[in-house]
Chain A
Amino acid sequence: MTSLLVVIVLILLGVAVWQISKIYTLTQIGAGAKIDDSQVANDRDNKVNGYLMFGFLVFIYIFTIYGLFKWGGLVLISNSAAEHGKDIDNLMIISFVMIFVVQFITQALLHYFAFKYRGVEGRKALYVADNNRLEAIWTIVPVIALSVLILYGLYTWNNVMFVDPEEEDVLYVELYAKQFSWEARYAGEDQTLGKANVRLIEGVNTIGVDMSDPNAKDDIVTSELHLPIGKRVVFKIRSQDVLHSAYMPHFRAQMNCVPGMVTQFSFIPSITTAEFRQLPETVDKVAHINELRRQKSIELTAKGEDALDPYEFDYLLLCNKICGSSHYNMQMKIVVETQEEFEEWIASQQTLYSKVFPPKEETETQQPEEVQKVATDSIQVAIR
């Protein structure tokens, strides 16, 4: 309701300003001997707006500085939880330095000129039509600056996107997206993901793994993503229905999930969840968020609603491609832990095979002959 009031106040404010300007123009007619209602800017307009232009420059600078101080702490730069993230963050910082320098100079020139050369009746403007040297300068300077950015950018991009197929000791994980949740599939002992296709979805086999594929025997499907620190993780990404995007901002990682194809992204987690929670920035952020939540809870309980749970930091996998009604709430918790903790966790998980074919009525009867028939040429091979 308060916001509705705000809107009403704004409307009234607008009306008031308009009325004032109206009164102002009326007084002008009465006061001045010269009535200027040509609606073309005169010297007074030039002066007022020239000063305002200068004021606007100050506004931009102050707003920028205010933003950096007030909101600069919110941004995810320089606390990357993945190894490649440091390169991305460096590149980001270099780009931002460049942006701020150029922004600072060009906005200053633009608005200062607008102020300095505000029109005065009778003054002649300088006739200058072109200057090839100047044009050359401001073609070449951006060329040099951009060459640096392009080269560094491509170098980083290739490093991030390149996955060495020969590399040993890699963890293969399938990320499976569907409206509106995620699942993860681990390759298991054999380090190879079994084939899968949405046509094979049935019962507990919610992600359509081809159970006839020997590689699928030891695959493990989970609803939480656990990753060991310091080991390369290669994500094989699939979608069941529409486009989604697997977005892991803390790891500087994102890749779309495309029905009908397998996409890929890879990184090496470099900070465990426990360590990340101890970082001073995280501690501050969590304390701040919890303070906000505490205040909100007081409001809520006053209205007789449930209080909010306190917040504890966790890495998250978010959906970042519009995917339907509950797009805003499609998430999965990511836990980065030590190798030992990870092994312990994965050992405690049931394989999909044992879920599909519970041990008691195992073998003969349920051997998936039929499934094989359905799995024709369309089977996607999540190549190892």
Chain B
Amino acid sequence: MSAHTGHEEHHEEHHHHKDTFITKYIFSIDHKMIAKQYLITGIIMGVIGVMMSMLFRMQIAWPEESFKIFEIFLGEKMAPGGVMKNDAYLALVTIHGTIMVFFVLTAGLSGTFSNLLIPLQIGARDMASGFMNMISYWLFFISAAIMVASLFVESGPASAGWTVYPPLSALPQAIPGSGLGMTLWLVSMAIFIASSLMGSLNYVVTVLNLRTKGMTMTRLPLTIWTFLITAIVGIVSFPVLLSAALLLLFDRSFGTSFFLSDIFIAGEVLHYQGGSPVLFEHLFWFLGHPEVYIVILPAMGIVSEVLATNSRKPIFGYRAMITSVLAIAFLSTIVWGHHMFVSGMNPFLGSVFTFTTLLIAIPSAVKAFNWITTIWKGNLQMNPAMLFSIGMVSTFISGGLTGIILGDSALDINVHDTYFVIAHFHLVMGISALYGMFAGIYHWFPKMYGRMLNKNLGYIHFWVTAICAYGVFFPMHFIGLAGLPRRYYTNTAFPLFDDLQDVNVIITVFALIGGIFQIVFLWNFFHSIFYGKKAEQNPWKSTTLEWTAPVEHMHGNWPGEIPHVHRWAYDYNKPGQPDDFIPQNVPMREGEEKLHH
């Protein structure tokens, strides 16, 4: 117990530069500050994204009714007299999807926790390149600012769905949002991708090169494994989206025909010839599918860590967990076609993608069973982070199971692009990743701010969210199986769907309650930053290295020497040992067995 207790005498100022307000809080190169910047930007974007979903859910439940709140948020142009216009609806669903997937669950989740935890858990002073890390954040900030700015352009923001399939997204004649709004969308995404790549490269290099003495790859906590693999998947797939975005930009601005051909719109034939929107779909989903794993893998890592710590047990099947993450990451890059079963591509390709897609269920099942076994015979400490982790396993199973229907090309024919899809992916990657993010926030808040979050508010937050998440997304399976297409501004044009209306009202009520209760979290978060109870050094009695660093943040993370690592990250309740947990930096004791494989 040397490195983390004897801190005072080592307290030397080995960094001689002085922090000004600007270098400390704005252009910081310290990974902990950058993590906090990512988190708070992510939360702000999350608030915008969730509020948008509440607005369009109100429109679906009470179609074409007048709400003061629409007028306030959407303005006279998008909601004349408080009645939401159909273009406004499409804009809202598009930007909701974009913001939640990229800005909240990619940057907000992965950006926050990769930055915070990689150096702290592997025992490094900082990221491999602090400067690049700073650039990465500020590019993210710029892209977020552009995305938000696009909400205010005259013709409205991008409205072609978050998948921005051309020709709809390419032709301003097709939908007003495909004017300046779409250009800003593409510019924002291009910058976002640059940011994401810089971050990812940094994570990979840091994990591979800067581990402290004794921190072998098989002693890494699962968080780091998932961050590493997420970063690799991101590096492999994000550039493809960049190319798609650039080609689309060419089609839009310079008259090329990569994705467009034979189009007659607004009374005239356009010159485009020879391109194919299916090509765009391939390029988009080559990122788009790995993207959902980019979103969910870090959440899986966080949940593994939180479950083990709060069960006071080692994670079950550490190596199986790593193997399954690797398998998922590999498979994730060869399944994109399951978004395109009915796109008109060759049916044989459909068979191939069905096969690869359903294979993903295997490593996913292994993970779920390992989590369940991890809490079996544990001594579960029901901290809010633990609740969100258990909740994540629950929603991951509920949402993942319907994947075997959507991944099956024959069944996808009938449920493709219906609410069944919405139910599936919101549970399996939306809510699950969000739970992972909340688990991470509740668990590492003391590390980030040196203070504790209020646990009772955390409990209220979890239970209301948990009930509402099921309340929103479970009924959607039924209306999807009834054939209700997604992205319909109102269902009143089809009397066929009239009997689904009360289900939609129930969904919206749950969505509103769930959305509004996030205020509990926001208040807890921002209040506790300043007034929370001061945290102890290791409040959750965890074994990983970040808890050996002093509560007060400092450049370089540890005063004096970086702790050395002598064991894996999961020595909880080890037989024959007096302590409930043994941190990674504690040397093996005499006669102590190495019990894991």
Residues of B participating in the A interface, judged by any CB pair closer than 8 Å: 58, 61-62, 65, 67-69, 86-87, 90, 160-161, 165-168, 171, 174-175, 260-265, 269, 273-278, 311-314, 316-320, 342-344, 347, 350-351, 354-355, 358-359, 361-362, 365-366, 368-373, 375-383, 386-387, 390, 393-394, 397-398, 401-402, 404-405, 408-411, 413-414, 416-418, 452-457, 459-460, 463, 466-467, 470-471, 474-475, 477-479, 481-483, 485, 487-491, 493-496, 498-501, 503, 509, 512-513, 516-517, 519-520, 523, 532-533, 536, 539-540, 570, 572-575, 580, 595-597
Q: Evaluate whether A114 and B483 lie within 8 angstroms (CB atoms) in the complex, with A60-B470, A331-B493 already known.
A: no
Bound together, the chains give a CA A328 to CA B60 distance in angstroms of 12
From B261, which residue of chain A is reached at the shortest CB distance? A260
Q: With an 8 A cutoff between CB atoms, is A345 at the interface?
A: no
On chain B, the residues within 8 Å of A18 by CB distance are 457, 460, 520, 523
Given known contacts A117-B380, A161-B350, A320-B416, A153 and B411 CB-to-CB distance under 8 angstroms: yes
> How far apart sit A110 and B380, CA to CA, in the bound complex (Å)?
12
**Closest chain A residue to B363, Cβ basis:** A139
Residue with the greatest number of chain B CB neighbours at <10 A, chosen from A53, A123, A324: A324
Given A109-B372, A114-B380, 4 extra CB contacts under 8 A: A71-B479, A139-B365, A259-B262, A289-B495
Q: Which chain B residues lie closer than 8 Å to A242 at the CB level? A: 166-168, 171, 174, 263, 265
Pick from B167, B411, B570: contact of A92, CB under 8 Å: B411
Given the complex of chains A and B, what is the CA–CA distance between A331 and B491 in angstroms? 12
B402 / chain A contacts, CB cutoff of 8 Å: 99
Q: Please, which residues of chain A bring their CB within 8 A of the CB of B175?
A: 324-325
Q: Is the Cβ of B404 less than 8 Å from the Cβ of A149?
A: yes
Whether A114 and B470, one on each chain, are in contact in the complex, defined by CB atoms closer than 8 angstroms, is: no
Q: Are the CB atoms of B381 and A378 closer together than 8 Å? A: no
Q: How far is the CB of A209 from chain B (nearest CB, A)?
A: 13
Q: Mark A322-334, 1 if CB is under 8 A from B, else 0.
A: 1111111101000
Nearest A residue to B509 by beta-carbon distance? Answer: A6
Answer whether residue A223 sits at the interface, using C-beta atoms and an 8 A cutoff: no
Q: Which of A's residues lie within 8 Å of B, judged by CB?
A: 3-4, 6-7, 10-11, 14, 17-18, 21, 24-25, 37-41, 45-46, 48-50, 52-53, 56, 59-60, 63-64, 67, 71-72, 74-77, 87-88, 91-92, 95-96, 98-99, 102-103, 106-107, 109-111, 113-114, 117-120, 123-131, 134-135, 138-139, 141-143, 146, 149-150, 153-154, 156-158, 160-162, 178-179, 197-199, 201, 208, 237, 240-243, 245, 247, 249-250, 252-256, 258-261, 263, 285, 288-289, 292-293, 308-309, 311, 313, 316, 318-329, 331, 378, 380
For A109, list chain B residues within 8 Å (CB): 372, 376
- How far apart are the CA atoms of A18 and B519 in the complex, in Å? 10
- Chain A residues with Cβ below 8 Å from B499 are 74, 285, 288-289, 292
Known: A110-B372, A240-B264. A91 touches B516 (CB 8 A): no
Let me know if B362 and A117 touch, CB within 8 A: no
A contact residues around B513 at 8 Å (CB): 10
- Give which listed residue, A41, A256, A260, A313, contacts B262 with CB less than 8 A: A260
B382 contacts A50, CB within 8 Å? Answer: yes
A253 to B168, alpha carbons, bound, how many Å? 23
Give the Cβ gap from A205 to chain B, nearest Cβ, in Å: 11
Give bound CA distance, A293 to B418, whole Å. Answer: 24
- Please pick, from B278, B413, B512, the residue contacting A7 in the complex, using a CB distance under 8 A: B512
Contacting residues, chain A, for B376 (C-beta < 8 A): 109, 113, 117, 126
A-B pairs, 5 with minimum CB distance: A260-B261, A249-B483, A263-B344, A75-B481, A39-B452
| Min C-beta distance of A71 to chain B, whole Å | 4
Given A40-B381, A327-B489: A67 touches B67 (CB 8 Å cut-off):
no
Residue of A nearest to B61 (CB): A3
The reply to whether B276 and A99 form a contact with Cβ atoms under 8 Å apart is no
Complex Cα spacing A321 to B513, Å: 30
Which chain A residue lies CB-closest to B577? A127
Partner of B347, one of A10, A157, A178, A329: A157
CB distance from A181 to the nearest CB of B (A): 12
CB contacts (< 8 Å) of A178 on chain B: these are 264
Please pick, from A72, A141, A198, the residue contacting B478 in the complex, using a CB distance under 8 A: A72
Q: Which of B314, B393, B455 contacts A41 (CB 8 A)?
A: B455
> Which chain A residues border B174 with CB–CB below 8 Å?
179, 241-242, 323-324
Q: A110-B393, A135-B366, A161-B347 in contact; A245/B417 too (CB < 8 A)?
A: yes
A127 touches B575 (CB 8 A): yes
Chain B residue contacts of A308, Cβ below 8 A:
495
A377: min CB distance to chain B, Å = 9
In angstroms, Cα B386 to Cα A85, docked, is 44
Q: How far is the CA of A134 from the CA of B365 in the complex (A)?
A: 12
Q: Are B498 and A119 in contact (CB under 8 A)?
A: no
Complex formed: what's the CA distance from A56 to B471 in Å?
A: 12
Which residues of chain A are near B459, meaning CB under 8 Å? 45, 48-49
Q: Is the CB–CB distance between B314 and A127 below 8 Å? A: yes
CB <8 Å contact, B277 and A260: yes
Given known A21-B457, A53-B390, contact A322–B516 (CB-CB < 8 A)? no
Contacts of B390 in A (CB 8 A): 53, 110-111, 114
What's the minimum C-beta distance from A190 to chain B, rounded to whole angstroms? 25
CB–CB B382/A11 < 8 A: no
**Given A75-B481, A150-B355, A88-B86 contact (CB < 8 Å):** no
Q: Are the CB atoms of B262 and A156 closer together than 8 Å?
A: no
A119–B358 alpha-carbon span in the complex (Å): 37
Q: Which residues of A lie under 8 Å from residue B381 when comparing CB positions?
A: 40-41, 46, 119
Q: Quick check: B168 and A158 within 8 Å, CB to CB?
A: no
Given the interface pairs A52-B463, A327-B488, the reply to whether A40 lies near B512 with Cβ below 8 Å is: no
Q: Is the CB of A201 within 8 A of B380?
A: no
Would you mind naming 8 contact pairs between A and B with Cβ atoms under 8 Å apart? A4-B68, A96-B405, A142-B365, A157-B354, A158-B347, A289-B499, A293-B495, A321-B417
Query: Is B485's CB under 8 angstroms from A117's CB?
Result: no
In the complex, what's the smallest C-beta–C-beta distance from A13 to chain B, in angstroms? Answer: 8
Query: Does B489 lie within 8 Å of A125, measured CB to CB?
Result: no
Given A14-B520, A157-B347, are A320 and B397 neighbors across the interface (CB < 8 Å)?
A: no
**In the assembled complex, which residues on chain B have CB atoms less than 8 Å from the CB atom of A118?**
380, 382
A125 to B311, CA, bound (A): 7
A178 to B371 Cα, complex, angstroms: 49
Interchain CA distance A285-B496 in the complex, whole Å = 9
User: Could you say which of A41, A99, A135, A260 contacts B260, with CB atoms under 8 Å apart?
Assistant: A260
B476 CB, min distance to chain A CBs, angstroms: 10
* Minimal beta-carbon separation of A235 from chain B (angstroms): 12
Report Cα–Cα, A74/B263, bound state, in Å: 38
Residues of A within 8 A of B354 (CB): 150, 153-154, 157
B413 contacts A160, CB within 8 Å? yes
Q: Which residues of B contact A111 (CB under 8 A)?
A: 390, 394
